[in-house]
Every structure is written in structure tokens, then in C-alpha cells.
Amino acid sequence: MNEPSWWQTGVIYQIYPRSFMDTNDDGVGDLAGIRARLDYLQWLGVDALWLSPIQPSPMKDFGYDISDYCDVDPLFGRLDDLRDLLDDLHARGMKLVLDFVPNHTSDQHPWFLESRQSRDNSRHDWYLWRDPGPDGGPPNNWLSSFGGSGWAFEPRRGQYFFHAFLEEQPDLNWRNPAVREAMLEQMRFWLELGVDGFRIDVIWHLVKDEQFRDNPINPDFRPQTGDHNRLLTTYSADQPEVHEVIRGFRQLLDQYPQRMMVGEIYLPLERLMSYYGSAGDGVHLPFNFQLIRHPWDAEAIAATIDRYEAALPAGGWPNWVLGNHDNHRLATRVGAQHCRIAAFLLLTLRGTPTLYYGDEIGMQDVPVPAEAVQDPVEGRMPGLGLGRDPERSPMQWDDGPFAGFSRVRPWLPIAADHVQVNVASLRSSPTSLLNLYHQLIAIRRAEPALALGHYRRFATPPQVLGYLREHNERRLLVLLNFSAQAQEVALGMAEGRICLSSLLDRPAQTVAESVTLRAHEGLLLDLTCE
């Protein structure tokens, strides 16, 4: 293969800026706070930071409703603070990836303020406007992902506009060439500033059906998943023309050395793979969420990994994610006892791993009382557990009153377990989960077999996941015990050496013919033939 890019060999670390570190005592994280914690992030070993949106916004959806694409919201600082962060990161050999939200703007964006005024202004068709249906109601049955109809009426135009999310987040009309060109200019602004890439929000939503046909009923709908799942998004997302838009993004990024983009895509595997494009004209990494809502079972996970690997197109680089700002915390989903093998899984599979802030210390969902709820999803679809506040709680830095995140009460509650589960305490404990992440990332960086090597399944008992990572003469074996009992695995060879145990207590131990894994233990073994 050609010389790998940084985004192929590196580890990406997602930061939700509101919740990482507050330096100006307003209870909300800021860019200066991220800069203040760069020593920690460099020690952890991550190669790139992905920041959830920091652009100006009314914060109806906490930054995913942008009112100015080319600046920084005062809540997080100034544009100069972003420049300083970039300079500091680049000086440390690290990269910065920004969230880019092209599907919709805020309803306070100047483009929409003009568009909503009349049917004949210069931006009248920059958004998705439609006349009322025959009954005077919405023009079709499309739903909002945040509940209710996806259409809102604008009296000044006598028309409805479509919003795939909140009413305050009107969708842009990506069939309009002027919109495409304007958005490329917004991207160019950040590329010229020096950012290293973009995570493109809901990229599969960008283009809608030209005829605005009704979406079909979802035959697998379950009420507990939310009314927004009552219909399939056949005509309101994942249209063939979206790949033309992505091609334009890629052509722009390719004008700048070593830039990349990740696409947020919640689609079945076969549709996900189409977003790699062909001949290098798709997104570099279509986000792979195959495991983020997956049953925590060795055999099922092994089958999913095999399907994903088999589906990758020629030249497609894999990636893996176990946590993000829209899903319950990893430790909450899999249980604290499985966090160590989850770390092993994420950091030893083939492809680029993305780590969500706080997962490295085992942060769990934080209960949020009704009076403290911030997320609009919880307000629109209460009682279904779809609110995203619990996984967005402040980073737990130490055992102080506000976990070292702030000197005042934060915007979301602090976890009750922060006295024990925090960076300061766990960093000083040699066998902690945090130190496991630190060592796994260091080994990944030092071992081409982990960063670049081939993936191949290895025969194991039913409750153990095993796979080989091979590069040139190096053969490394990963074994993950998903069970609460010890498991013996035959190695089928004379001898191997344990490089790392998830419990951090078996250094350089030699094993012959077989190895025994303790309950919930992960092992990395060197099987390289002498």
C-alpha cells in the first residue's frame, strides 16, 4: 500500500466542548479549556481531536444549529482561541477535526432569514419550500428525527419548509448549485485556517427526493424507539445525488495536503459502503457504527466484524466507534466489567478508532432530573430514554466538588462516582482502565501489525473473540473473554509471549500450546515465529 495517512494510523478523540473543561467559570467548557488539557491528551497518546460544533449558534440543539459557519461562538471563546489551539496541536504533532453541519442551518442564519421573507428574494430556493397539501396541511408525510412532522408553516411565504430535526433547523436545498458553492466556501475558510479535516454531520440526509414522495411505513416499527421511526426515510435521505455533493467536498479537500473527512452515516452495511465512493471520490471514513448499538456477545460481534471486513470496497479503510455524543455511554451499555475488553477491541481492530471523551476512565451515563434536562429530544419524546444529556456530562478530572471541570455548577450534573472515577486518581493507579488505554495506544503506535496489519479470525471457544493482526513477519493475536469464567484457548503452536493483559498484571509472560484467560480478560500475544 502507499504511505499511510495520519488518519489511517492515528487515534481520533472526540471532545464535546461544552463538557470538557471550563476556564471562565460559566459552567460550560471552552476552547481555552481544551488547550489547558493538551498535556493530558498527548500523554494519553491520541493523534487527533474532533470537536463537536464550536460555531456561533442559538444553541437550540447545542451547536448543531449554526448561524455563522465561519466564526466561533462566544460561549467557547474567539476565533483567535481556535487559532491558538490549532497552533498548539500542530506543534505537538496532533491534528484538529471540526464538526461541519451542512444539512441544515439555524433559523437565525442570514440565509434563512432572507429566504423566509418571500418567494422571489435572492435566496428563495436555498431551503426546502413546498406549498401546502390538498388539505392545507403539510405537503407530505415526512417526519422529524426529533419527533412530529418534519414540516413547519411560514405565513410570510404561505408555504411549508422542511426540517429533518428541530423546527429551528431548516434543511438546505442541496439541489441548488448556489447552496453547494456557498457551503464549499464555508469549508474552504476552515481549510485555509489550517484545520485537518471535518466530521460531516448527517451526511446521508443532504439530498431529498426531487418529487417529495411520501415515505413508506416502517414494517419493523416499535413504539419504544420513538414515533420518528414510524416511517422509513426512503425519500427523505440517502438519495443517489448525495454522492455528487460528497464528490464536491472531496475535490475541495484534495486541494489541501493530508486533509480528511468522516461522514456521519446511520445506514445498513451495504448502503454505508457506497459512501466510500469510487476512485477516491467519497468520504475517507464513513463512520462505522456497527458496534455502537450491538449486543455485547463474542460470536455476534465476530460475525459483524467479518461482514464489515468482507464488505469493504477496494481501497476502503475501516474505522470503529464504540461511543459518541448521541448514544449511551460505553460503560453503561456493556457494564463496567467489560470496559477493558472494549478498550482492547477498539484499539486492536484493523482501521481507525475514534474514542469518546471520558470512555478512557469508564464514565457512565449520568441521571439528569427533569428540571435539569437540556436536550430538546427528551422534551419532544419524553419517557423513551432517547435524551442525550446523560452521555454528555462534564469530564471528570479530579475528586473536587465539580470534578475539576469548573469552579461553578456545570450546565449538566456531575456523576456521583467522580470521587473515584476521575483522571487524577486513575492516572496514578498503575493497573487502572485509564492506564490500559494509555498502554494500548502506545503499543498500537509502536506496532505496524496493529496500525496497518491484516485482520484474520482465530479459532476460539464460543465466549471468546480471537483475531490475528499480521504485518510482514509480525503476528499478533488478540483474545477477548466475554464471559465471567476462565477460558482456555489452544494456540496451535509451541510458544507465544503475552505483550499485554487488560488487567495489566502479566508482563512478558511466555505461554506454550494454550493460554488461559481470566474472566473478562483481554490478551495481546506475540506469535511471531523466530
Distance of CA 78 to the CA centre of its chain: 25
For residues 349 and 352, give the distance between their C-alpha atoms in angstroms, rounded to a whole number: 8
Question: What separation in angstroms does the CA of 35 have from each of 41, 244, 372?
Answer: 10, 37, 28
Of 412, 402, 322, 396, the closest CA to residue 361 belongs to 396
The amino acid at 15: I
The helix (H) or strand (E) run that includes residue 429 is none
State the amino acid at position 271 in one-letter form: R
CA max distance for the chain? 79
Which residues pair with residue 162 across a beta bridge? 151
The C-alpha cell that represents 223 in the structure block: 413504539
Distance CA 90, CA 42 (A): 12
Among 22, 171, 196, 264, the one annotated catalytic: 264
User: Cα(467)–Cα(459) distance, rounded to whole angstroms?
Assistant: 8
State how far the alpha carbon of 31 is from the alpha carbons of 36, 81, 181, 448, in Å.
9, 6, 29, 33
88 is catalytic: no
Which 8-state DSSP code applies to residue 176? S
- Burial class of residue 509 (count of CB atoms within 10 Å of its CB; 0-12, 13-18, 19+): middle
Q: In angstroms, rounded to a whole number, what is the distance separating the alpha carbons of residues 114 and 272?
A: 35
Marked catalytic residue, from 73, 196, 201, 521: 201
- Does the annotation mark 201 as catalytic? yes
E-assigned strands of 53-212? 95-100, 129-130, 151-154, 159-162, 197-200
The DSSP code sequence of 443-494 is: HHHH-HHHHT-EEEE----TTEEEEEEEETTEEEEEEEE-SSS-EEEE-SSS
- Spatial CA neighbour of 106 closest among 64, 152, 138: 64
Residues 89, 288, 335, 147, CA torsion sign: positive
Residue 330's SS3 state is helix
Write out the catalytic residue numbers.
Answer: 201, 264
